[in-house]
Amino acid sequence: MKILVTGGAGFIGSALVRQIIGESDHAVVNVDSLTYAGSPLNVAAVAESSRYAFEQVDVCDAAALAGVFARHQPDAVIHLAAESHVDRSIDGPRPALDTNVFGTFSLLEESCTYWRERAEDGRSFRFLHVSTDEVFGSLGATGAFTEGSSYRPNSPYSATKAAADHLVRAWHRTYGLPVVITNCSNNYGPHQYPEKLIPVLIAKGLAGEAMPIYGAGANVRDWLYVEDHARGLRLALENGRTGESYNFGGGAERTNMAVAESICAVLDDLHPGGAPHRDLIGFVEDRPGHDARYAIDAAKAEAELGWAPLETFDTGLRRTVGWYLENEDWCRSVLAGNYDGGRLGLAGVARS
């Protein structure tokens, strides 16, 4: 297949692109607008492959998307392009609305037109939409999200992703576009932009700076190693049932405090000069509307796709910390002029 991947220079997208080129015979067309969170460095390892092509295009630009489809004639789309940081969506929700909602709409429209043209020639096409568990809202102390869980998004980011999910489902039911939707738990691993929890804590720990934990650190997330997620996306594209949704989770629930303590333990081992890193952990003002707990039931993906995570949280975290230790130049390069490491996501906090 020739697979058009949107957001393929970002964290999850680049892991998927590298995996497709490195572990299959498929070709990739990487469509990315190269915002602050996307970098050519993330796909440098495969950029010279004859099966790789790059198009710097914003998914909101319908005319440019039409040109990409016409030039490359993909067999499938995997849609990952998104503004994905909750804190940034709190401080300024418009970019999330533009990319996640209107960008998805533009991509669906162009995909639908293209699919109809292919169908006339008897050629197949698939649209895989990649979403998040955050669309389901916040869990209590027990239970897990399934594919049938109700949508209750609580942040501007998750609300825009929920809207995108609904659009994709509507284009399938109304127009017949062959789609598959996936929802995943929190991803971590190499190449993650250093504004999310795990890379922030690693970067702060390496610099000997305070490692910030929101609130009391009691919020729970299910952690999924990015390579395991990428493998799941490939299986969903190739073997998922049209019109169905599949959940991917790591089976690794941790409080944010427990995550920080695990990072400190690995840093103490791999970077002993800064030990004990546990002394750097500090607490900061909580995020507005911070969801208490996420957990994923991935039984459907396991049963229908034969998928299961290969990395435990401990093995995946050690690989992740090791990668950031070996790639401090990458961190400096992607952060330069884009992010100073300061606190985001306080625009929604009421001040007296």
Q: Helices 197-207 and 328-335, interaxial angle, to 10°?
A: 110
The predicted model scores a pTM of 0.96
pLDDT given at position 337:
85
Among 52, 114, 157, 246, the active-site one is 157
Cα–Cα distance, 169 to 278 (Å, whole number): 45
Q: Are 19 and 43 in contact (CB under 8 A)?
A: no
pLDDT given at position 350:
55
Does position 73 have pLDDT exceeding 70, yes or no? Answer: yes
Domain map of the chain by residue range? 2-185+224-249+291-310
Choose the CATH number for 2-185+224-249+291-310 among 3.40.50.720, 1.10.10.60, 3.40.50.12780, 3.40.50.360.
3.40.50.720
Cα–Cα distance, 93 to 173 (Å, whole number): 29
| Look-up of token digits 């469509």 | 31
197: which residues sit within 8 A by CB, 6+ positions away? 186, 256, 259
The β-bridge relationship of strands 179-184 and 76-79 is unpaired
Q: What is the pLDDT of residues 199-254, one digit of tens each?
A: 999 999 999 999 999 999 999 999 999 999 999 999 999 999 999 999 999 999 99
Cα–Cα distance, 248 to 246 (Å, whole number): 7
pLDDT given at position 334:
93
- The mean per-residue pLDDT over the stretch 91-105 comes to 97
Among 55, 83, 87, 133, the active-site one is 133
Structure letter (DSSP) for residue 56: -
Q: What is the pLDDT of residues 241-288, one digit of tens each?
A: 999 999 999 999 999 999 999 999 999 999 999 999 999 999 999 999
- The mean per-residue pLDDT over the stretch 177-204 comes to 97
**CA nearest 343: which of 211, 206, 161?**
211
pLDDT given at position 286:
93
Does position 351 have pLDDT exceeding 60, yes or no? Answer: no
pLDDT given at position 121:
87
Q: Is 214 a catalytic residue?
A: no
Determine what percent of the chain is predicted with pLDDT higher than 70. 99
Q: Is 134 a catalytic residue?
A: yes
| DSSP letters spanning 125-171 | -EEEEEEEGGGG----SS--B-TTPPP---SHHHHHHHHHHHHHHHH
- Evaluate the CA torsion angle 161, 162, 164, 165 in order and state its sign: positive
Does position 198 have pLDDT exceeding 60, yes or no? Answer: yes
Q: Are 137 and 154 in contact (CB under 8 A)?
A: yes
User: What b/e string do you get for 122-159 counting C-beta neighbours within 10 Å, with b at 16 or more?
Assistant: eeebbbbbbbbbbbbbbbeeeebbebebeeebbbbbbb
Does position 352 have pLDDT exceeding 50, yes or no? Answer: no
**CA nearest 148: which of 100, 104, 181?**
181
Determine what percent of the chain is predicted with pLDDT higher than 90. 94
Q: Are 206 and 198 in contact (CB under 8 A)?
A: no
Helices (H), the chain: 11-23, 62-72, 86-91, 94-96, 104-120, 156-175, 197-207, 226-239, 256-270, 299-305, 313-326, 328-335
- The mean per-residue pLDDT over the stretch 31-46 comes to 97
Among 87, 134, 165, 311, the active-site one is 134
Q: Is 157 a catalytic residue?
A: yes
Cα–Cα distance, 201 to 47 (Å, whole number): 30
pLDDT bracket for residue 349 (50, 70, 90): low
Does position 109 have pLDDT exceeding 70, yes or no? Answer: yes
